[in-house]
């Protein structure tokens, strides 16, 4: 199979040196890429900035912003059998980023933000049929209900839900659901084991 996997947290620049981002380490996306490579699949990894070493054997594409990630996914989507959106793509970006460094002032600074492109929703609309679509849902309340809503709205084949405690950790509890299955809970497993299980489930979905 040909996997297209996204990882890391995007940076949305306020000015040339300051940006809005999130706490994503990219570990899950990179671990999924290694797991897919280990069992013989091809992997294109689209990564926002991280401190992680890329897995040997991937086709690596580095991006920064949500817009850059969207463009990269659109470019490679047609050649993949499965898209896994493990990246933490920013929901908002500065509406009018400054071309020069903003100077500190005594007055308050108000930032106007605009929504970023919804990569998964775009991918869901392209299916006819097409690649298997896998998304992640990071939820701090009503985890399964919110994840199922995301799965329906974005037309996903599989959703993986977790809590903010998973950010940057080597272990996490995952809740996994496919369109035709009940929820599966993977309790406090290392991300290497969880990633291998996710790849096996995807292989089953693809037949």
What is the spatial distance between Cα 90 and Cα 150, in angstroms, rounded to a whole number?
16
**CA of residue 28 relative to chain centroid, distance:** 9
Does residue 173 contact residue 160 with C-beta atoms inside 8 Å?
no
Domain locations in the chain as residue ranges: 2-206
Query: For the stretch 173-202, what's the b/e string if a residue is b when 16 or more beta carbons lie within 10 angstroms of its beta carbon?
Result: bbbbbbeeeeeeebeeeebbebbbbbbebb
What is the spatial distance between Cα 88 and Cα 98, in angstroms, rounded to a whole number?
24
What is the spatial distance between Cα 180 and Cα 41, in angstroms, rounded to a whole number?
24
pLDDT at 129: 79
pLDDT at 188: 81
> Can you give the pTM of this predicted structure?
0.95
Does residue 6 contact residue 73 with C-beta atoms inside 8 Å?
yes
Per-run averaged pLDDT (10 residues), the chain, 207 residues: 97 97 94 98 98 96 98 96 97 97 92 96 87 94 95 96 82 91 89 95 91
pLDDT at 47: 98
Query: For the stretch 57-83, what's the b/e string if a residue is b when 16 or more beta carbons lie within 10 angstroms of its beta carbon?
Result: ebeebebbbbbbbbebbeebbeebebb
User: Which residues does the annotation mark as catalytic?
Assistant: 22
CATH superfamily ID and name for 2-206: CoaB-like (3.40.50.10300)
Q: What is the DSSP letter of 52?
A: P
pLDDT at 127: 75
């Amino acid at each position: 199979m040909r996997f297209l996997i996204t990882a890391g947290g995007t940076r949305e620049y306020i000015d040339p040196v300051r940006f809005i981002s999130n706490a994503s380490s990219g570990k899950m996306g990179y671990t999924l890429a290694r797991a897919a490579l280990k069992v013989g699949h091809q992997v294109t990894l689209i990564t926002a900035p991280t401190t992680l070493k890329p897995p040997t054997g991937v086709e690596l594409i580095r991006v920064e912003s949500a817009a850059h990630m969207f463009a990269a996914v659109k470019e490679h989507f047609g050649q993949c059998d499965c898209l896994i959106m493990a990246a933490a793509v920013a929901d908002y970006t500065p509406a009018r980023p400054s071309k020069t460094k903003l100077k500190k002032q005594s007055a308050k600074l108000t930032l106007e933000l605009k929504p970023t492109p919804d990569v998964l929703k775009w991918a869901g609309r392209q299916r006819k049929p097409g690649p298997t679509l896998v998304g992640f849902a990071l939820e701090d309340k009503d985890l399964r209900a919110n994840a199922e809503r995301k799965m329906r709205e974005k037309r996903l084949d599989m959703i993986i839900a977790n809590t903010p405690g998973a950010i940057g950790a080597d272990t996490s509890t995952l809740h996994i659901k496919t369109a035709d299955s009940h929820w599966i809970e993977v309790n406090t497993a290392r991300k290497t084991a969880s990633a291998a299980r996710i790849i096996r489930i995807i292989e089953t979905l693809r037949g």
